[in-house]
Structure 1
């Protein structure tokens, strides 16, 4: 991530390392920007995403790409999804992606791996 001027930040996700997560592989930006209250992730979701929830994070998934049978499990429901959809996932909502997909995930407050819980 590069600061061009002190008033803004630019990140090229293709240069960020992928980090394993319960969903697949995430590339996370803006964790080190003190005045920004969130992190932005580009996540490639694997077929075997794990059901999990957060006690503090609110996540917003924007679906960039997915297969025709892709779904989101939100608590006990499975919702068909398609590119262009956006899903707000509040704290306490058990969730996982079903099928391969690529998403933008905006996490507020900033992502903390200690806020990932599994049943």
Structure 2
């Protein structure tokens, strides 16, 4: 008897494995995002209206040495159009975490962070 060309059992195992991996990845990413957004500091910053002028002054005083006066990068990465690459909660987390050396951990008052975020979104 000839073996059938199409063997469903052979294809079924990799398909199920792929589905499980995708579900796990989606769950992990979702829980990470919810953790970031549910952080009280992040929630408060996101609830505030930032001042562009104060945010620019804060950027120039604290960030421009590494990111350049225009945000295009020196030592630190280019922040131009950063709003297109990172959601606001992720920007806040990156600023306050200190997890991206050589950038230091920096947690300004919530209004100051809202101001900085407003400025970053204009780059």
- Please state which band the TM-score falls in when normalised by the shorter chain: under 0.3
TM-score by length of 2: 0.22
Specify the structure having the higher radius of gyration (Cα): 2
Q: Higher helix fraction: Structure 1 or Structure 2?
A: 2
TM-score by length of 1: 0.23
Q: Higher strand fraction: Structure 1 or Structure 2?
A: 1
